[in-house]
Amino acid sequence: MIQAIVSGLALGSIYALVAMGFYVTYKASTTMNFGQGDAVVLGGMSLAGIVSAWQLPYGLAAVLTIVILAIYGALIYLVGIRPLSELASMRWIITTLGLGLITANIMAVVWGATVRPVPTPLDREPVNIFGAGIFPAQLVVIAASAILTIALSLGVNRTRLGYSFKTVAYSHDVARLQGINVTVIIFGAFALSGALAGLAGILVGPISNIGAYLGLPLAIKGFAAAIVGGLENPIGVYIGGLLIGLLEAVALRFTSNFGDVVVFAVMILVLVIRPQGLLAPRKLRVV
């Protein structure tokens, strides 16, 4: 049971990292990159490619990967979001899905369609903890996701940049009246979303092999985590990710075909009972 819990927390931490990418762009622009899962895969593939082709030290390769994915996230905004003047039309859903599909196919051409391992300095052998075999990479992703959630929460609530972020989220017009450059904030949100995807790709690779066409399932699970926790704050997104991961891990102990059923059943149930998410404040109804 300990192994199932740790596996669930590791899965949930990965889903939370994906969901964080949805959170930062949604709060700034009420839009999201539905190719976020493909960005995660691109992060893992880029790290493997950089280490293999350039023989760089792992730490430098990881930093370079995150920078590349931050640029990728910014390009998604410039190509798939900003040209759409009417964001309420929801056309950005199609454009980001299309860009994610293009990214997946480019990765398949460059690196092949088969799954491949992602390099890691961690030991790939499990460690015995209370009789359960726990991989060091699982512990690292759990810790990294928790630390990142705390850092993002503090950054949003305790810094001037976080204030600008929340002001843009509240109203673009109010933000402009206060001298905040709305375009720069949204641009930065998409760059941060890409950086988070790069970090997730680096962390997920050592836990399970990664492949060009595995991005969509990651995006769907991350989106489910965001919906379940609520897109109002990083803590809610994080808790939603952990809940989804734990439920999936427990369900997989009974049958390998039941994990997705439980995840989406929970998401639908939350949408019916509490559409704003479990940890989001209930909005007042104005009569």
Q: What is the pLDDT of residues 226-270, one digit of tens each?
A: 999 988 889 999 999 999 999 988 887 777 667 788 888 888 999
Q: pLDDT tens-digit profile of 6-48?
A: 889 999 999 999 999 999 998 888 888 999 999 999 999 999 9
User: Rounded CA gap, 26 and 232, in Å?
Assistant: 9
Whether the CA torsion 168, 170, 173, 176 is positive or negative: it is negative
Asked if 28 and 81 touch (Cβ cutoff 8 Å), the reply is no
Asked if 72 and 45 touch (Cβ cutoff 8 Å), the reply is no
**Least confident window among 52-61, 143-152, 165-174:** 165-174
CB atoms within 10 A of CB 232: 18
* Domain boundaries defined on the chain: 2-214
* Residue at token pair 């990765």: 107
pLDDT at residue 215 in the model: 94
pLDDT band at 284; cut points 50, 70, 90: very low
Return all residues near 16 (Cβ < 8 A) that are at least 6 apart. 145, 149, 222, 225, 237, 238, 240, 241, 242, 245
pLDDT band at 285; cut points 50, 70, 90: very low
What is the chain's mean pLDDT, rounded? 88
In this prediction, residues 61-75 reach a mean pLDDT of 96
**Least confident window among 59-63, 237-241, 272-276:** 272-276
pLDDT at residue 89 in the model: 62
**Least confident window among 114-128, 242-256, 271-285:** 271-285
pLDDT at residue 282 in the model: 62
pLDDT at residue 286 in the model: 39
Q: Phi and psi at residue 134, in whole multiples of 5°?
A: -110, 130
Distances (CA, A) of 94 to 84, 87, 99, 207: 11, 12, 9, 31
Residue 168 has pLDDT above 50, yes or no: yes
Q: Is 233 helix (H, G, I), strand (E, B) or coil?
A: coil
Q: Is 133 helix (H, G, I), strand (E, B) or coil?
A: strand
* Burial degree of 54 (CB within 10 A; 0-12, 13-18, 19+): exposed
User: Rounded CA gap, 183 and 82, in Å?
Assistant: 9
The dihedral over CA atoms of 170, 166, 14, 96, expressed in degrees to the nearest 10, equals 50
β-bridge partners, 127: 134
279 or 140, greater pLDDT: 140
pLDDT at residue 123 in the model: 84
CA 9 to chain centre: 15
Say which amino acid occupies 197. Answer: A
Residue 283 has pLDDT above 80, yes or no: no
